[in-house]
Amino acid sequence: MPHSTASRPPPVGAPLAADDASPSQLLPEAVWRAQQQAHQERVSLWADPHLARASRGEKHPVYDFLFTYYSFRASWLRQWHPGPNVTLAGEAAREFLRWPEYHPTHAGVRLDLSSLPAKRRTSLIWMRDLLAATATRPPAFGCFGLHEWAMVYRQTPAEVRHNAYPLRFPPEELARIVESQPLRCTHFDAFRFFTAPARPLNKHQPTRDTLSEHEQRGCLHANMDLYKWASKLAPYTPSDLLADCFALAYDLRELDMRASPYDLAALGFPPIPIETPEGRMEYERHQRAFTTRGEPLRTRLIGLCETLLSA
């Protein structure tokens, strides 16, 4: 979320903008400063270790995904935004005018919802419809995290993505495990990384064009992607919602890699042995809990889309 290079808008105290008649919560400077600090302290627990590793040129097979695949910088995650219909009082609120989405009013500084470009509104409609379709579709369980196994199925050791870490089984045994259980992946952005021999084994054949037809709320990656949608709505996304979505994605990523064929025990991630009945039961128990945790976040994101579209 780069800073705008546009010229600075008029200062706080300029004439009221057109949308100033809409209801708005007024936050005194002491209040929003406290919220800003609390947010930065919260996300620093995730962002600071990533930035420290990056400065040393170190890679992490579990957590880097959250900052590379989602392409939302750790520094952007640290930035606090109040969300729509909140006015920030005090001269210090002028710092938000570096983003073109904010404008000054007599009371302070707030997001200008009327400035949403037409192209972004089109993306918003698509996102809202995808989230709404996912929310109403019954959750499906029983995939047991086999997508990570399908991504290394019939690969040579040199082709394996995280080849700095050992696999828990030799290639032939790993292939036998994949072939002995049905693949039921519904998430296109996981399915597209399946190896070519693994794709025909999957019950579904999702494509980018049919994404909204397959996405369902029991899917780990559909729930991880709540963070993607929250980040794409920035800076309109209230930072507490953004952080809640990141926290869910963080915990889901740990489950994802613990259920994978990689042996990451040395990094503090004991495997969930989905190749056994007990491991599959454990995985599904976590999957159901995370599905429940994601539902109110999805609802809030749909509401945010509706707010932006109705402005």
Total count of domains within the chain:
2
| Residue 9 falls inside a structural domain | no
Residue 11 lies in a domain: no
Please indicate, yes or no, if residue 1 is contained in any of the structural domains.
no
From CA 47, how far away is CA 268, in angstroms rounded?
A: 19
Name residues of the chain where pLDDT drops below 50.
1-21
* Residues 85, 148 within the same domain: no
In a domain, 4, yes or no: no
Tokens standing for residue 280:
């599959």
Q: Are residues 212 and 83 in the same domain?
A: no
For residues 103 and 158, membership in a common domain is answered with: no
- What pLDDT was estimated at residue 281? 97
Which residue, chain included where needed, has tokens 């620093």?
Answer: 44
**Same domain membership, residue 49 and residue 125:** no
Judge whether 305 lies within some domain. yes
Q: Looking at the structure, tell me whether residues 191 and 300 fall in a common domain.
A: yes
| Domain end point (choices 82, 116, 150) | 116
Distance of alpha carbon 233 from alpha carbon 191, whole angstroms: 25
Question: Looking at residue 4, what is its pLDDT?
Answer: 37
Shared domain check, 125 and 36: no
Same domain, 250 and 146: yes
Q: Domain check: are 127 and 106 in the same one? A: no
Domain coverage including residue 61:
18-116
**Residues 136 and 278 grouped into a single domain:** yes
Tell me, what's the pLDDT at 165? 93
Dist CA 286 CA 14 (whole Å)? 52
3: in domain: no
Task: Judge if 155 and 262 occupy the same domain.
Answer: yes
Structure confidence at residue 118 (pLDDT): 86
pLDDT on residue 20: 46
**CA 302/CA 126 separation, integer angstroms:** 11
- Pick the last residue of a domain from 63, 90, 116: 116
Instruction: State which of 83, 116, 149 marks the end of a domain.
Output: 116
Phi then psi dihedrals of residue 69, to 5 deg: -60, -40
Q: Can you tell me the distance from the alpha carbon of 300 to that of 83, in angstroms, rounded to the nearest whole number?
A: 12
The reported pLDDT for the residue numbered 115 is: 81
In this structure, what is the dihedral angle of CA atoms 165, 169, 173, 176, given to the nearest 10 degrees? -70
Whole-number Å distance between alpha carbons of 224 and 89? 34
Q: Could you give phi then psi for residue 148, rounded to 5 degrees?
A: -65, -35
Same-domain pairing of 78 and 166: no
> Does a structural domain hold residue 238?
yes
- What's the pLDDT score for residue 23? 66
- The number of angstroms, rounded, from the C-alpha of 75 to the middle of its chain's C-alpha atoms is 15
- 6 within some domain: no
My answer on whether 86 and 215 are in the same domain is: no
Give residue 19's pLDDT: 43
Strands laid side by side in the 86-88 sheet: 25-27, 86-88, 109-111, 102-104
